[in-house]
C-alpha cells in the first residue's frame, strides 16, 4: 500500500437513531478528496405533524423525536410556546425543569461514555467485550445511567418519552418522600461520579488539536441548561430569537438532514463546547475537580468530548442534590394558559448540544408553523471537517480497516444520534 | 424476597404492549394467586434498556416475558433459555438496547441468574401495530397457557 493509491471507502449503513447514515471516503495520491457523512433517511416531517395541533399536545409529540433526549425536545418546545403566551411558570417549575434535564444529561452521557466512547478508546468492539475486563467501570456507568432515568421518571412518569411536562409547568409534583429517597441515592453516587471523571481523564485518546468554533448557551448566573444567550468562541453573543440571522441551514446533495453553518462556517455544539464556554459557571466542587485533571481548558481536541460528558455528569448530580435538597411541594404545578397568537423562540442545551425551536401560534393556541434545529444536524459539517483533519493526522497510509475504525471513532465521538449504528458499520472498499 | 420474578417488558405502543397486558392477566389467574406477593412477583418494565440487569438480580429465578418479532405467527409462545438467546447474532446500539443486548452484557458482568427464562410471544410483521384492545384479547387467551408454565416453575422452586 503506497501513498499514491486511490481508495474509495464506503460505509453504506450508519444505521441511525435519529437518522440513517453512511460514510464515504475517497483517497487519491495521499489526499482525502471526498469526505461525506451521508444521512439518507427520509425526512421525518415532525414539524409538519405539529401544524394544527394544540399547544398542550406539542410536548408529548416532540418527545417522540428522540428516545434518548426527549426532555430536551419538550423543554425547548414549552419555553418557546410560553414566550408566545407570556406565561411565567415561576421558580418551582424552573427548578424542576432544570432537575429533569439533569436526569437526561446523566442518562445520555453515561450511556455514551460506556456504550460508545470507552469501547473505542480501549479497542473493544462493544461494551460487552469491555465489560469482561472493566466490570466495575461498566457497572458504575449503568448505575449512573439508572439514576438519570430515575430523575426523569420522578417528574416525567417514565424515563422513555416522559409525559409529565406541560406548557406552564408539570402535570404532577413528586412527593416529599419520593424526593428524599432519590436524594439519598444521588448523594451516595457522588463519589462514583467523581471517580468516573478521573477515569475518563486517564483514557488514552488521540491527541488531535483542531481549530473550530464552539457554540453554546451562556447564562449570567449558572451553567446553562434551559436558558441563556447564544454565544460562540468567536465572539457571537445573541438572543436566541436571532438564531436565524446568524445560523443558516442548507441542503447538501448527500444528506437529507440540513447542514447548519455559523456565518458560513462549521461549528461545534455539545458538551465540549459547553465546558469550553461555561466552565467558569460550574460550582467550586466541579471547578476544583477540573483543576486536578491533566487537561487544559478550553480544549480543542474533540476527543475530550467524553471527558466533558463525564464532568457534566458530575455537575448534574451535584445540581440535582442542590435542587432536591431544597424541594418543597408547590401550591400549583403549572400555570393556566391563555392562548394568544404570536411567534416564540427557545433554545436549550440537549445532551448533544443546542436545540433550537421556533413556533408560530394562532389565537386558539394551535401551531401554525414550527421549526426545529437539532444538535445532530448542527454538528454534521463539523464532523466532516473533523474527519478530514483526523484522518490526515492518523495517516492515510494505514490500511482500510484501520481508516474505517478511526473514522467511526471520530463520528461516534460526537454522539450523534446516528452513532448508535456506527458500531456495526458494513464496509465496502473499492480499489482503483 | 420473592423466589420468582416475572418481568413483562414492553412499551405503550402497538404490539409492544402484549407483555404488559399478559402480566396484568397473570395477576388475575387463580392458579397463581396463592403465590403472588410471597413466592411470585410480577412487574412491568417500560423499555428498561440496560437497567434490565438490575432487575435480573431481584430474585433467584427470573422470567422475562416479551413480544418478539421472530418470524412466528402472532400469539405463538416459546420459551428460551438465556444461552439460546445469546447464541443468536447480536448487534449493539444505545438506542436499541433490548433484552438480548442486556442479557449479553449481564453475562459479561457475571450477573446472569442461573434460573433465567425468557418467554417470547411472537408477533407477525403485519400485526406490529395492533391496538390496545387487540393486545388485551390476546393476553386473555395467552395468560392461562403462560400461567401454567409459571405454575410449574414456581412449584419447582418453592
H or E element, residue A309? helix A305-325
Q: How many CB atoms lie within 10 A of CB A41?
A: 16
Q: Do A135 and B93 touch (CB under 8 A)?
A: no
Per DSSP, which regions of A66-205 are E strands?
Answer: 165-166, 169-170
The pLDDT value recorded for residue A400 is 86
Residue A265 banded pLDDT, cuts 50, 70, 90: very high
Write down all domains in chain A, each with its CATH number in brackets.
46-420 (1.10.645.10)
- Look at residue A258 in the predicted model and tell me its pLDDT: 78
How do residues A126-136 score in pLDDT, each as one tens digit? 889 999 999 99
With a cut of 50, say whether residue A424 has pLDDT above it.
no
Characterize the bridge pairing of strands B4-10 and B40-46.
parallel
pLDDT tens-digit map of B113-124: 888 999 999 998
| Test mutation, A134, A137, A420, A422, chain B, max B CBs within 10 A | A420
The pTM of the full predicted model, rounded to 2 decimals, is: 0.89
Give yes or no for residue A361 having a pLDDT over 90: yes
- B11 band by pLDDT with thresholds 50, 70 and 90: confident
Helix (H), strand (E) at residue B54? helix B52-56
Q: Closest Cα to residue A374, out of A213, A221, A247, A228?
A: A247
CB atoms within 10 A of CB A416: 29
Higher-confidence residue of B97 and B139: namely B139
What is the per-residue pLDDT across B20-55, written as a single tens digit (0 to 9) for each?
A: 999 999 999 999 999 998 899 999 998 888 889 989
Write out the three cell numbers for A300: 480543542
Integer angstrom CA distances of residue A29 from A8, A106, B77 = 12, 45, 59
Q: How many residues does chain A have?
A: 432
Confidence category of residue B89, pLDDT binned at 50, 70, 90: low
Give the Cβ contact number of residue A4 at 10 Å.
8
Average pLDDT over residues A159-184: 96
Cross-chain Cβ contact B92/A15 below 8 Å: no
- A336: burial class by Cβ within 10 Å (0-12, 13-18, 19+)? exposed
pLDDT of the residue at A272: 98
CA dihedral of residues B105, B106, B112, B118 (deg, nearest 10): -70
Is the confidence at residue A430, as pLDDT, over 50?
no
A422 to chain B: nearest residue by CA? B93
If one counts every other C-beta atom within 10 angstroms of the C-beta of residue A192, the result is 18
A233 reaches B (C-beta below 8 A): no
Find the Cα–Cα–Cα–Cα dihedral B86, A409, A413, A42, rounded to 10°: -80
- Please state, rounded to an integer, the average pLDDT across all residues of chain A: 89
Helix residue spans in A158-242 (DSSP H): 176-202
Mean pLDDT confidence for A414-419: 66
Best-predicted range by mean pLDDT (A19-33, A303-317, B55-69, B76-90): A303-317
In which band, very low, low, confident or very high, does the pLDDT at A20 lie, cut at 50, 70 and 90?
Answer: low
Compute the average pLDDT of residues B64-92: 81
Q: Nearest 5 degrees, angle CA A180-CA A183-CA A188?
A: 130
Establish if B57 touches chain A: CB-CB under 8 angstroms.
Answer: no
On the 0-12 / 13-18 / 19+ scale of CB atoms within 10 A, A40 is middle
Taking the Cβ of residue B156 and every Cβ of chain A, the question of whether any pair is shorter than 8 Å is answered with no
The answer to whether residue A364 scores a pLDDT higher than 50 is: yes
Chain A residues with beta carbon closer than 8 angstroms to that of B51:
142, 145-146, 149
The answer to whether the CB atoms of A67 and B93 lie below 8 A apart is no
DSSP sequence for A385-397:
HHHHHHHHHH-TT
**Three-state secondary-structure class, residue A174:** coil
pLDDT at B75 over 70: yes
Lookup: cell for A231? 454565544
- Beta-carbon contacts of A348 under 8 Å, excluding residues fewer than 6 positions away, are A72, A75, A76, A79, A101, A217, A225, A226, A227, A354, A355
Q: How many residues in chain B?
A: 158
Enter the ipTM: 0.83
Cβ-based contacts of A111 with chain B (< 8 Å) = 50, 94
Distance CA A306, CA A320 (A): 21
CA B24, CA B12: separation in Å to the nearest integer? 14
Cα(B133)–Cα(A250) distance, integer angstroms? 45
CB contact under 8 A, B92 and A128: yes
In this prediction, residues A319-346 reach a mean pLDDT of 97
- Please enumerate in sequence order all residues whose Cβ is within 8 A of that of B43, keeping only pairs 6 or more positions apart, or say none: B5, B6, B7, B8, B23, B55
Handedness of CA A145, A150, A152, A153 (dihedral sign): positive
- Tell me the C-alpha to C-alpha distance, in Å, between residue A401 and each of A396, A397, A404: 11, 11, 5
CB atoms within 10 A of CB B145: 13
Q: Per-residue pLDDT tens for A25-45?
A: 888 888 888 888 877 666 678
Q: Is B105 on the interface with A (CB under 8 A)?
A: yes
Name the grid cell of A145.
445511567
Sheet with B4-10, side-by-side order of all strands? B40-46, B4-10, B61-68, B117-122, B77-81
- Delineate the domains of chain B, giving CATH numbers in brackets: 4-157 (3.40.50.1450)
Tell me: pLDDT of A17 over 80.
no
Lowest mean pLDDT among A15-19, A219-223, B85-89: A15-19
Half-sphere exposure of A20 (CA within 13 A, CB side): 8
pLDDT of residue A377 exceeding 50: yes
DSSP label of A43: P
Please give, rounded to a whole number of angstroms, the shortest distance from the CA of A423 to a CA of chain B.
7
Q: How far is A120 from chain B (nearest CA, A)?
A: 13
Interchain CB contact of B148 with A (< 8 Å): no
pLDDT at A43: 65
User: Which helix (H) or strand (E) element contains residue A127?
Assistant: helix A127-133
Mean pLDDT of B128-136: 93
Amino acid at each position: 500500500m503506497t501513498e499514491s493509491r486511490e481508495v474509495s471507502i464506503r460505509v453504506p449503513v450508519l444505521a441511525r437513531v435519529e437518522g440513517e447514515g453512511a460514510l464515504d471516503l475517497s483517497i487519491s495520491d495521499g489526499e482525502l478528496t471526498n469526505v461525506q457523512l451521508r444521512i439518507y433517511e427520509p425526512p421525518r416531517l415532525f414539524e409538519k405533524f405539529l401544524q394544527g395541533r394544540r399547544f398542550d399536545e406539542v410536548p408529548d409529540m416532540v418527545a417522540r423525536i428522540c428516545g434518548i433526549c426527549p426532555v430536551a425536545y419538550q423543554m425547548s418546545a414549552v419555553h418557546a410556546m410560553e414566550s408566545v403566551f407570556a406565561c411565567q411558570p415561576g421558580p418551582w417549575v424552573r427548578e424542576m425543569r432544570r432537575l429533569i434535564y439533569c436526569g437526561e444529561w446523566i442518562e445520555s452521557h453515561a450511556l455514551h461514555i460506556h456504550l460508545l466512547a470507552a469501547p473505542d478508546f480501549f479497542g473493544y468492539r462493544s461494551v460487552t467485550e469491555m465489560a469482561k475486563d472493566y466490570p466495575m467501570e461498566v457497572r458504575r456507568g449503568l448505575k449512573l445511567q439508572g439514576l438519570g432515568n430515575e430523575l426523569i421518571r420522578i417528574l416525567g412518569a417514565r424515563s422513555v418519552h416522559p409525559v409529565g411536562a406541560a406548557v406552564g409547568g408539570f402535570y404532577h409534583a413528586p412527593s416529599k418522600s419520593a424526593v428524599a429517597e432519590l436524594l439519598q441515592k444521588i448523594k451516595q453516587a457522588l463519589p462514583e461520579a467523581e471517580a468516573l471523571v478521573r477515569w475518563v481523564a486517564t483514557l488514552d485518546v488521540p491527541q488531535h488539536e483542531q481549530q473550530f468554533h464552539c457554540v453554546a448557551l451562556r447564562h449570567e448566573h449558572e451553567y446553562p441548561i434551559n436558558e441563556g444567550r447564544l454565544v460562540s468562541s468567536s465572539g457571537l453573543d445573541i438572543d436566541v430569537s436571532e438564531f436565524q440571522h446568524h445560523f443558516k441551514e442548507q441542503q447538501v446533495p448527500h444528506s437529507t438532514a440540513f447542514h447548519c453553518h455559523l456565518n458560513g462556517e462549521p461549528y461545534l455544539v455539545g458538551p465540549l463546547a459547553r465546558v469550553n464556554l461555561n466552565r467558569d459557571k460550574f460550582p467550586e466542587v466541579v471547578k476544583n475537580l477540573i483543576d486536578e485533571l491533566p487537561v487544559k481548558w478550553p480544549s480543542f481536541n474533540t476527543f475530550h468530548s467524553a471527558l466533558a460528558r463525564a464532568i457534566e455528569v458530575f455537575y448534574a448530580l451535584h445540581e440535582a442534590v442542590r435542587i432536591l435538597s431544597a424541594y418543597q411541594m408547590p401550591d400549583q404545578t403549572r400555570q393556566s394558559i391563555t392562548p394568544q397568537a404570536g411567534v416564540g423562540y427557545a433554545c436549550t442545551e440537549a445532551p448533544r448540544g443546542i436545540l433550537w425551536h421556533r413556533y408560530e401560534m394562532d389565537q386558539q393556541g394551535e401551531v401554525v408553523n414550527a421549526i426545529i434545529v437539532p444538535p445532530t444536524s448542527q454538528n454534521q459539517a463539523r464532523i466532516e471537517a473533523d474527519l478530514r483533519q483526523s484522518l490526515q493526522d492518523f495517516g492515510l497510509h494505514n490500511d482500510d480497516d484501520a481508516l474505517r475504525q478511526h473514522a467511526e471513532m471520530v463520528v461516534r465521538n460526537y454522539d450523534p444520534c446516528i452513532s448508535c449504528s456506527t458500531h456495526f458499520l458494513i464496509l465496502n472498499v473499492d480499489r482503483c | 424476597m420473592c423466589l420468582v420474578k416475572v418481568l413483562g417488558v414492553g412499551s405503550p405502543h402497538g404490539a409492544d404492549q402484549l407483555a404488559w397486558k399478559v402480566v396484568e392477566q397473570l395477576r388475575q389467574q387463580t392458579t397463581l394467586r396463592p403465590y403472588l406477593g410471597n413466592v411470585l412477583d410480577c412487574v412491568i418494565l417500560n423499555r428498561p434498556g440496560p437497567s434490565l440487569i438490575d432487575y435480573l438480580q431481584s430474585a433467584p429465578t427470573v422470567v422475562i416475558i416479551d413480544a418478539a418479532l421472530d418470524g412466528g405467527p402472532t400469539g405463538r409462545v416459546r420459551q428460551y433459555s438465556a444461552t439460546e438467546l445469546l447464541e443468536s447474532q447480536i448487534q449493539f446500539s444505545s438506542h436499541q438496547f433490548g433484552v438480548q443486548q442486556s442479557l449479553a452484557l449481564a453475562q459479561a458482568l457475571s450477573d446472569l441468574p442461573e434460573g433465567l427464562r425468557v418467554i417470547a410471544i411472537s408477533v407477525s410483521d403485519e400485526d406490529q401495530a395492533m391496538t390496545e384492545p387487540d393486545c388485551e384479547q390476546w393476553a386473555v387467551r395467552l395468560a392461562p397457557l403462560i400461567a401454567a408454565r409459571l405454575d410449574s416453575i414456581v412449584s419447582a422452586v418453592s
